[in-house]
Homo-oligomer: A and B are copies of this chain.
Amino acid sequence: MPIVQIDWVEGRSVEQKRELAEKVTAAVCEAGKCPPEAVTIIIRDQAKTNIAKAGVLMADRK
């Protein structure tokens, strides 16, 4: 604990995930007053056909 689950659109590079892990962990530790070892992050890459906003799939947005 804390456990962080992040859903975002697929296509990000490993370098971006590396940066995400590092920066989000730092942010959680500062706000939550906990050591980095306590923080687990799960990244979920989602296809644009699997996300919708306002009833419209991201894959269908222009």
Contact = CB atoms under 8 A, between A and B. Distances in A.
Interface of A: 1-9, 12, 14, 16-28, 30-34, 36-37, 39-46, 49-60
B58 A52 contact: no
B42 A50 contact: yes
Copies of this chain, tallied across the complex: 6
A1 B31 contact: no
- Cβ-closest 8 pairs across A and B: A21-B52, A25-B55, A23-B27, A20-B31, A2-B8, A19-B31, A41-B52, A43-B50
Nearest to A27: B23
Nearest to A13: B49
Contacts of A39: 52-55
